[in-house]
Structure 1
Amino acid sequence: MTTPSSQESVSQPRTTNLRALKARDEGPRLSVGFVLARRFTLCAFANFVDVLRLAADDGDRSRPILCDWTVLSDTMDPVQSSCGITVQPKERLGDPRRFDYIVVVGGLMDETPSLGQAYHRFLHQAADAGVPLVGVCTGAFFLHQVGLLNGYRCCVSWFHHSDFLEQFEGLSPVADQIFVVDRDRLTCSGGVSSAHLAAYLVDKHVGRSQASKSLHIMIIDDALQAEKPQPGLPLDLKTQDPIVQRALLLMQQNIDTPISVQDVALRMGNSKRQIERHFRLALNTSPQAAFLDMRLDLAKHLIEKTQKSVAQIAVDCGFCDSSHLSRMFRRRYGDTPQSFRQSSVVEN
Structure 2
Amino acid sequence: MSNLPRKATPIAKEATPRRFVFLLLDRFTMLSFAGAIEPLRIANRVSGQELYRWVLAGEGGEYATCSNGAAFKLDMGLDEIERDDIVLVCGGVDVQKATTRGIINWLRREARRGATIGGLCTGAYAVAKAGLLDGKKATIHWENQDGFLEEFEAVKLTKSVFVMDGNRWTTAGGTSSIDLMLKVIAADHGEDLANTVADQLIYSTIRTDQDTQRLSIPTRIGVRHPKLSQVIQMMEGNIEDPMSPADLAEEVGMSTRQLERLFRRYLNRSPKRYYMELRLQKARNLLMQTDMSVINVALACGFASPSHFSKCYRSHYHTTPYRERGTQGLPGGAPARLSI
* TM superposition score category, shorter chain reference: 0.5 to 0.7
Residue identity in the other structure for 1:193: S
Answering whether residue 279 of structure 2 is matched by residue 279 of structure 1, we say no
- Which position in structure 1 is the counterpart of 2:189? 206
Distance 2:192 2:15 in 1: 21
- Which position in structure 2 is the counterpart of 1:169? 153
Answering whether residue 52 of structure 2 is matched by residue 57 of structure 1, we say no
Given candidates 214, 217, 224, the residue that maps to 1:231 is 214
- Which position in structure 2 is the counterpart of 1:219? 202
Q: Is the 8 A contact 1:72 1:93 kept in 2?
A: yes
Given candidates 141, 145, 160, the residue that maps to 1:157 is 141
Given candidates 98, 105, 114, the residue that maps to 1:121 is 105
Q: Is the 8 A contact 1:56 1:68 kept in 2?
A: no
Q: Is the 8 A contact 2:60 2:78 kept in 1?
A: no
Answering whether residue 172 of structure 2 is matched by residue 189 of structure 1, we say yes
- Which position in structure 1 is the counterpart of 2:70? 85
- Which position in structure 1 is the counterpart of 2:27? 39
Residue 170 of structure 1, CA deviation: 4.3
Q: TM-score, normalised by structure 1?
A: 0.58
Q: Deviations over 1:185-231 (max 9, x none)?
A: 11110111110001111112233222212211111014321111213
Where 2:42 maps in the other structure, the secondary structure is: helix
Where 1:93 maps in the other structure, the secondary structure is: coil
Q: How many residues align?
A: 225
Change (3 A) 1:87 1:64: farther
Change (3 A) 1:64 1:159: farther
Q: Deviations over 1:248-285 (max 9, x none)?
A: xxxxxxxxxxxxxxxxxxxxxxxxx9x9966333669x
Given candidates 112, 124, 129, the residue that maps to 1:145 is 129
Where 1:25 maps in the other structure, the secondary structure is: coil
Q: Is the 8 A contact 1:41 1:82 kept in 2?
A: yes
Q: TM-score, normalised by structure 2?
A: 0.59
Distance 2:216 2:144 in 1: 13
- Which position in structure 1 is the counterpart of 2:222? none
Change (3 A) 1:88 1:276: farther
Q: Deviations over 1:157-188 (max 9, x none)?
A: 2222112113323433112x111111111111
Identity of aligned residues (%): 25
Change (3 A) 1:276 1:85: farther
Distance 2:209 2:131 in 1: 24
- Which position in structure 2 is the counterpart of 1:95? 80
Where 2:14 maps in the other structure, the secondary structure is: helix
